[in-house]
Amino acid sequence: MTTDEKQIIKKNIEDLKKELGDVVLCAVTKYHDLDETKEVIKNGVTVLGENKVQDLVKKIDQIEEPVHWHMIGHLQTNKVKNIVGKVDLIQSVDSLKVLRKINDESKKKNVVSDVLIQYNLTGEDQKFGFSEDETGAWIDEVKNLPNIRVEGIMGMGPHTDSKSAIREVFRRLKSLYDKIDSDVDQDNVHMKILSMGMSDDYPIALDEGSSMVRIGSKIFT
Ligand SMILES: *Cc1c(COP(=O)(O)O)cnc(C)c1O
């Protein structure tokens, strides 16, 4: 890495931290190598997100610094075993099938896995995630999954230039989060993390009550 590249990362993280206040920065290092990822950590970031199992496992194995690793990408059931017990949070639980699989693998390893339920409220069907109508289904399912702990929900804004359309989706995610928080009284369901906001739309997410943003490109450019 050049000194310039290091300076860019440093400045971007400093600026972001000021803007975020208490909101947690999950730095998305998915297109970046070990050196770049370590540079992010050197600047005080303690939560890192990856969207591919293989990259995530490689970084967990090769980076010694004590940081928190989050899986943020779509997870195939056959790869669940590779990350259970290694990651701190799986943000991208997008089906009952993967939820059950995480429970099974967690039981085998004698661990409890922290997860977020991923919602897709964008109306764009290429994205993975639950709809609002499926909320009761995962809550019922989790009753029978003692090795799962739901810590909150995750969602993305729609791919559009319309700030009002993005705001609308984030607002619905926040009200869903609040509703689950007030309605659900279950040992392994707690609304502690509302993960929404990426490089292009995080200011809107902050306005709408996000507690964690997942930011990649804005750190490196
Ligand atoms: C890549 C990615 C991000 C970060 O995207 P940027 O636009 O680079 O900030 C956030 N969340 C998920 C799920 C991602 O895959």
Tell me what pLDDT residue 123 has: 84
Computed over every residue of the chain, the mean pLDDT equals 97
- Between CA 34 and CA 67 the distance in angstroms is 14
pLDDT tens, 91-126?
999 999 999 999 999 999 999 999 999 999 998 877
- Is the CB of residue 157 below 6 angstroms from any atom belonging to ligand 1? no
30 pLDDT band, cuts 50/70/90, is very high
Q: Mean pLDDT throughout 119-135?
A: 91
> What torsion, rounded to 10 degrees, do the Cα atoms 128, 210, 66, 85 define?
-40
Residue 212 has pLDDT above 90, yes or no: yes
Q: Mean pLDDT throughout 122-132?
A: 87
Cβ contact 103:180 at 8 Å: no
- Is the CB of residue 29 below 6 angstroms from any atom belonging to ligand 1? no
The rounded Å distance from CA 199 to ligand 1 centre is: 7
Atom of ligand 1 nearest to the CA of 215: 9
Architecture per CATH, domain 54-210, reads as Alpha-Beta Barrel (3.20)
Q: Mean pLDDT throughout 129-147?
A: 97
Tokens of 188: 């392994």
Residue 192 has pLDDT above 90, yes or no: yes
Tell me what pLDDT residue 134 has: 97
Tell me what pLDDT residue 26 has: 98
* CA-based nearest residue to 93, from 179, 58, 54, 106: 106
Angle between helix 96-109 and 135-143 (nearest 10):
20
Cα distances from 119 to residues 16, 33, 112, 139, in angstroms, run: 25, 29, 22, 13
Q: Mean pLDDT throughout 28-49?
A: 97
Tell me what pLDDT residue 76 has: 97
Report pTM.
0.97
Atom of ligand 1 nearest to the CA of 28: 4
Is the CA virtual torsion 35, 196, 125, 73 positive or negative?
Answer: positive
29 pLDDT band, cuts 50/70/90, is very high
- Is the CB of residue 214 below 6 angstroms from any atom belonging to ligand 1? yes
The rounded Å distance from CA 44 to ligand 1 centre is: 20
Atom of ligand 1 nearest to the CA of 202: 9
